[in-house]
Structure 1
Amino acid sequence: MLEIELKARLDPDQALDLEARLPALGLVFDHWSRESDDYFQAPDRDFLRSDEALRLRTLENEGGSQAFLTYKGPKLDPLSNTRQEIETAIGHAPDLEAILTALGYRSILTVKKSRKLFKGREALDGVSLCLDQVEGLGSFLELEYLLADDLDPEKRESIRNRLLSLLDDLAVSRDRLTRKSYLELLIASMTS
C-alpha cells in the first residue's frame, strides 16, 4: 500500500475546536485507541539515514488489543509524508520482538500516543483524520489516504492536493505541517 499523509502540529485548544467541527465537514468519529510504537534499527543499515522505519505497534481500544508490524519506506515527495507502507497483524508482540532481537534488530525508542480516528464520508470517502496526543510532543493532526502502490504520480499528487485542501478547510495553517515522523520529532526533542 501507499500512504499519503499530512501531519500538522496543533495547539491543545485547537485540537478541541477541530474535533467539534469535524462532523460538519463530513468526518465522523470511528474509534479511539492508545498506541505504543516500538521502533527498531536494522543490523545492516541505518533506517534514520535511509528514511525508512520498522515499527512494532501495540494498540488498545474498546475492541481489545492488537499488534502490528509495519515497514515504512522512504518519503516520496518534498511536501508530504507519502511513502510505501506494508503492515501485517501479528499474534503476540513480545514474541515478535524477541525474534527481531535475535536477528540483530534493536529497539531504539518507543512513541506512545492517544488517538481519535475519524473517517471521511461522501466527498471525503477514503480519507482518515487522526487527532493524536503524543507523549513528550503534544497535539497533532494527521490526514491520511491509503491506496495501491502502482498509482501513477499524477493521481498521487491529486490526492495529496485534496488533503491539502481539506487542511485549509480545517483552518490549519500549512506552516504547521511537518514531514518528520513522531520518532524523528521525539529524537530531536531529546537532543535539543
Structure 2
Amino acid sequence: MLEVEIRYRLTDADALRQRLAEWGAEEPSERIETDHYFNAPHKDFRKTDEALRLRCVGETNRLTYKGPRRDSQTKTRPEIEVPLANGQETARQARDFLIALGFRYVATVSKRRQVYRLQRRGFPVEICFDDVYQVGSFVEVEILTEDENYEQAKATLLQITQELGLHQRELRSYLQMVLEAQTQNNLDHAQSSPDANDSKVTS
C-alpha cells in the first residue's frame, strides 16, 4: 500500500472543523498515539529516508515500515503495517525483540489525534488533527491506496487541501521535529547552566 499524505501547520482549527462539517465528514474519533522509532543495524534510516516504528494506541500495537518518499510535494511513502497482539506486555516484547536483533531505539513521538473521515473521488480520506508533544499542532490529509492509483490520489489530496485553505506545508516528519526540539532543549539547558567557575568573583 501507499500512504499518500500532506501535512500542514494548524492555524485555524475551528474554521477547518466547520468546513469539514459542511462537507458531511464523520464525527471525529480521538485517540492517543505513542510511536517508538528504531534505526536499523545494517543501514541508517536517516540517510535512506525510511522508518520503522512500534505504534501503541491504548491496548493495540502495530509495527510499521515506511519506505522513501515518492515526491517533493507530499509525504507519499510505501507502507507495510503488521498488527500485533494487544497489551503492554506485547509492546514490551516487541521492543525487546527489535533491540535483540540489533535495532537501536531512536525516540518516542506522542500525540493526541482527532480523525475526520470522508469520501472524495472514490477514495476514503482521513483528515487528522494532531497535537504533538514538544512540536505543536498540525493537520494531515491522508489516503491509503494501491500503487496504480497514486497520481489520482495525490491530485485528490492537493485539491482537498486547496479547498480547505491550507498553506503552511510541513515536509518534516514528526520524528525529525521531535529530535530537533530535543536538541534545541539540550542547547538551551546547557546555555542556562554555566560552569560554576564562571560565576565566581576573582580578586
TM bucket by the smaller chain? 0.7 to 0.9
- Return the alpha-carbon distance in structure 2 between the equivalents of residues 159 and 54 of structure 1: 24
The letter of the residue matching 2:105 is S
Aligned equivalent of 1:170, options 164, 167, 171? 164
- Return the alpha-carbon distance in structure 2 between the equivalents of residues 33 and 20 of structure 1: 21
Checking the alignment, whether the CA contact within 8 Å between 2:123 and 2:143 is kept in structure 1 is: no
Aligned to 1:180: 172
5 Å matches for 1:111-126? 111-121=109-119, 123=121, 125-126=123-124
State yes or no: 1:9 paired with 2:15: no
How far 1:30 moved relative to its partner?
Answer: 4.2
Task: Give 3-state SS (helix, strand or coil) of 1:80's partner.
Answer: coil
Checking the alignment, whether the CA contact within 8 Å between 2:121 and 2:156 is kept in structure 1 is: no
Checking the alignment, whether the CA contact within 8 Å between 2:2 and 2:150 is kept in structure 1 is: no
Task: Give 3-state SS (helix, strand or coil) of 2:46's partner.
Answer: helix
TM-score when normalising by structure 1: 0.88
How far 1:125 moved relative to its partner?
Answer: 4.2
How far 1:87 moved relative to its partner?
Answer: 0.4
Checking the alignment, whether the CA contact within 8 Å between 1:29 and 1:116 is kept in structure 2 is: no
Runs of 4+ in 1 over 2 A off after TM superposition: 121-125, 188-192
Checking the alignment, whether the CA contact within 8 Å between 2:125 and 2:141 is kept in structure 1 is: yes
Q: Deviations over 1:105-149 (max 9, x none)?
A: 111100000000111136574111101000011111111111123
Aligned to 2:42: 44
Relative contact order (C-alpha < 8 Å, sep 6+): which is higher? 1
Aligned to 1:138: 136
Q: Specify the structure having the higher radius of gyration (Cα).
A: 2
Checking the alignment, whether the CA contact within 8 Å between 2:55 and 2:61 is kept in structure 1 is: yes
The letter of the residue matching 2:178 is L
**Structure showing the higher strand proportion among its residues:** 1
Checking the alignment, whether the CA contact within 8 Å between 1:26 and 1:124 is kept in structure 2 is: no
Aligned to 1:25: 23
- Return the alpha-carbon distance in structure 1 between the equivalents of residues 23 and 135 of structure 2: 27
Structure 1 residues without counterparts, runs of 5 or longer: none
Aligned to 2:72: 78
Q: Percent identity?
A: 37
Q: Deviations over 1:155-179 (max 9, x none)?
A: 4222212111111111111xx1122
State yes or no: 1:87 paired with 2:81: yes
Aligned residues: 180
Checking the alignment, whether the CA contact within 8 Å between 1:28 and 1:121 is kept in structure 2 is: no
- Return the alpha-carbon distance in structure 1 between the equivalents of residues 72 and 166 of structure 2: 19
- Return the alpha-carbon distance in structure 2 between the equivalents of residues 99 and 24 of structure 1: 47
Task: Give 3-state SS (helix, strand or coil) of 2:126's partner.
Answer: strand
The letter of the residue matching 1:82 is T
Shift in alpha-carbon separation, 1:130–1:5, aligned structure 2, 3 A: same
RMSD: 1.5
How far 1:17 moved relative to its partner?
Answer: 2.7
- Return the alpha-carbon distance in structure 2 between the equivalents of residues 34 and 71 of structure 1: 20
